[in-house]
A and B are shown apart, each in its own frame.
Chain A
Amino acid sequence: MALNRILVVAEFFAGAPLAASLELLTKARQLADTVEAVTWGDDPQSVAAPLGAYGARRVYHAGELGGKLPGVPVAAAIAALVQSDGAPDAILIPTTYDGRDIAGRLSARLDRSVLTNVVDLVADDGALVSEHAIFGGTEILNARFTGPAPAIFVVRSKSFAAEEADEATTPEVIAVTPGELGAADTATITERHVEERTGPKLDEAAVVVSGGRGLGEAGRYQLIEELARLLHGAPGASRAIVDAGWVPYAYQVGQTGKTVKPTVYLAAGISGATQHMVGMKGAKHIIAINKDAEAPIFSIADLGIVGDVQKVLPKLVEALKARS
């Protein structure tokens, strides 16, 4: 039995909807008769078409926000919508920095529980059951809400494929204003710092080359970046080298980092802790280089090279350079 109505939180960056939001719109279409989206920031005129392409019937726009962090005003706008139009069966929110803020704020405001780290959703008897990968993905937990609607799910990226709807809709864009929000709504962005990066995004790249502590020193991460560039992919990292300050957090793959599902994932000097593997074992093909033949990463690698990254990586770079 299909659900009646699902509301998707659609986050935009640099004028385009995030892939994570499009993934949720796609899934929502499969689960419910009516899919709606709520967004903010970008010009209300420009948001309709890209969301309509993924099947949103109606788009609610919470305003430009004037540099405020979105958590409070967007949650308040959604709460106002629930008040005026009734609760949708479910609200799907992507696991992003702002998405998690919105989810927490909304949960407390509506007095509804929230389920986070969702990796799949299944309709069961008119309600949704969520799937969660726990203990580093070694076990799958299924959960559901017991209280009244809306069910609030915060879903990890790459849980679903993003596909355009067969027929694009022309959604109506409706402004929602949350009203006076007081002290809670005072967190303001005074300056943005964008690190210039070339090549595909980590969670969208077809090839991901990740390095770990086995690289030995921060300077050798350059080999990982070079390889990623040669393979038109993105560089990634284990938490060990993120915590060590070799690379920014945005590079981290795993439970507390990104989930990636590339065609090829190459892990160099990474042991294969469950918390790392939960973020990459959905890759189509896995290649691992590790000097320890017993490293857990080999248990899921399609091609495992027992060897020294200091020997194998430079040769690999040379071989690929020679071809390009």
Chain B
Amino acid sequence: MNIAVCVKQIPDPASPGKLDPTSHTLDRTGKLVLDPSDEYGVEMALQLVDQAGGGEVTLVSMAPHAEVSGLRTALAMGAAKAILITDDTLQGADALGTAKVLAKALGRVGADLILAATESTDGYTGTLPVQVAELLGLPSITFAKRVRTENGRVLVDRQTEAGYDEVECPLPAVVTVTAGVVEPRYPSFKGIMAAKSKPIDQLKVGDLDVPADQVGWAGAGQEIVSVAPAEARKGGEVVVDEGDGAERIVAFLEQLKVI
């Protein structure tokens, strides 16, 4: 079984995010890393290929300035190869524009299963994988907390408000996984060394047959009007518990007439 995983490369989530002051888009000029949300998709893919007894994992990523650090991390985990779409004209792309580009690249891979995260760490629009599925005419199952494949079908436990649903559909399909679905492995030293020579196929928009006016700023159907600091909420009384902490809380709840 061949699996494609959409992986986003993002600014290090440990450092505070920044917006570009003129375009108001996320500042992605620094070094990028593999989105931690996508580590689950990569791990899931590796396990499913193992269970199927053969096949390989292909990464697909769209990122600025030919960034490959995040891809190398995922290749070190065990993915076989990667496709990176990087092109200056993609700057300012909205989720739908990104989906159009990724869908074309994924169409080339022709995988049995496409995995992505339910939402990215930096953008968290959470719609991209479903947009990709629609563009490719594939079924999708989102919010997976458990994934199996069997006889050409994918079977998923899908998170719901009240618990979970068992959902299934024939392959090929798009599945989005939630954090914690599997425990992502740490790349081994051997994996890191091997990743250095794994192929990363770099593509431009022109290679993918996506009309230029549908991507980047030109294709984005939305714009940012303004960004301003939010009104801060003020703190109140902070007291050290001298054995009376619980009493103080009770008194506060009484005052609020909650009890």
Q: Which of A's residues lie within 8 Å of B, judged by CB?
A: 13, 69, 71-72, 75, 96-97, 100-101, 103-105, 107-109, 111-117, 129, 133-135, 137-147, 154, 182-195, 197, 206-207, 231, 242-243, 245, 249-250, 255-256, 263-264, 266, 281, 285, 287, 289, 293, 298-308, 311-313, 315-316, 318-320, 323
Q: Which of B's residues lie within 8 Å of A, judged by CB?
A: 16-17, 19, 24, 94-96, 99, 119, 124-135, 137-143, 145, 158-170, 173, 178-180, 220-230, 233-241, 243, 245-250, 252-253, 256, 258-259
Taking a contact as CB atoms under 8 Å apart, the answer to whether B230 and A137 are in contact is yes
CB nearest to B178 among chain A residues: A249
Q: In the complex where A191-B165, A302-B236, A307-B240 touch, is A69 in contact with B253 (Cβ < 8 A)?
A: no
Q: In the complex where A117-B124, A146-B223, A306-B241 touch, is A243 in contact with B179 (Cβ < 8 A)?
A: yes
Q: In the complex where A97-B143, A107-B127, A113-B221 touch, is A189 in contact with B248 (Cβ < 8 A)?
A: no
Q: In the complex where A69-B141, A97-B159, A97-B161 touch, is A316 in contact with B246 (Cβ < 8 A)?
A: yes
Shortest distance from the beta carbon of A198 to any chain B beta carbon, whole Å: 13
Taking a contact as CB atoms under 8 Å apart, the answer to whether A308 and B142 are in contact is no
CB nearest to B241 among chain A residues: A307
Shortest distance from the beta carbon of A123 to any chain B beta carbon, whole Å: 13
On chain B, the residues within 8 Å of A183 by CB distance are 137-139, 170
B229's partner among A97, A139, A146, A249 (CB-CB below 8 A) is: A139
- B interface SS class: mixed
B169's partner among A109, A187, A206, A245 (CB-CB below 8 A) is: A187
27 pairs, A vs B, C-beta closer than 8 Å: A13-B161, A96-B161, A97-B142, A100-B126, A103-B127, A104-B126, A107-B96, A112-B96, A117-B124, A133-B230, A139-B229, A141-B224, A141-B227, A146-B221, A184-B137, A187-B173, A264-B258, A285-B256, A293-B240, A300-B233, A302-B235, A303-B237, A303-B239, A304-B237, A306-B241, A312-B246, A315-B245
Taking a contact as CB atoms under 8 Å apart, the answer to whether B256 and A263 are in contact is yes
On chain B, the residues within 8 Å of A143 by CB distance are 222-225
For the complex of A and B, 8 pairs with smallest distance between CB atoms: A307-B241, A104-B130, A113-B221, A304-B238, A108-B134, A315-B246, A104-B127, A302-B236
Taking a contact as CB atoms under 8 Å apart, the answer to whether A287 and B252 are in contact is yes
Shortest distance from the beta carbon of B239 to any chain A beta carbon, whole Å: 6
CB nearest to A296 among chain B residues: B235
Taking a contact as CB atoms under 8 Å apart, the answer to whether A255 and B124 are in contact is yes
Give complex CA distance A320, B247 in Å: 10
Taking a contact as CB atoms under 8 Å apart, the answer to whether A154 and B127 are in contact is yes
CB nearest to A207 among chain B residues: B258
Taking a contact as CB atoms under 8 Å apart, the answer to whether B130 and A71 are in contact is yes
On chain B, the residues within 8 Å of A266 by CB distance are 249
Taking a contact as CB atoms under 8 Å apart, the answer to whether A190 and B167 are in contact is yes
On chain B, the residues within 8 Å of A303 by CB distance are 236-237, 239, 248-249, 252
Taking a contact as CB atoms under 8 Å apart, the answer to whether B227 and A184 are in contact is no
On chain B, the residues within 8 Å of A114 by CB distance are 95-96, 125, 127
On chain B, the residues within 8 Å of A75 by CB distance are 134
Shortest distance from the beta carbon of B125 to any chain A beta carbon, whole Å: 5
A191-B166, A194-B162 known, 15 other contacts, Cβ within 8 Å: A97-B143, A104-B131, A105-B131, A112-B221, A182-B137, A184-B133, A184-B137, A189-B166, A191-B165, A192-B166, A249-B159, A281-B233, A298-B235, A302-B235, A320-B250
On chain B, the residues within 8 Å of A250 by CB distance are 159, 161-162
On chain B, the residues within 8 Å of A312 by CB distance are 241, 245-246, 249
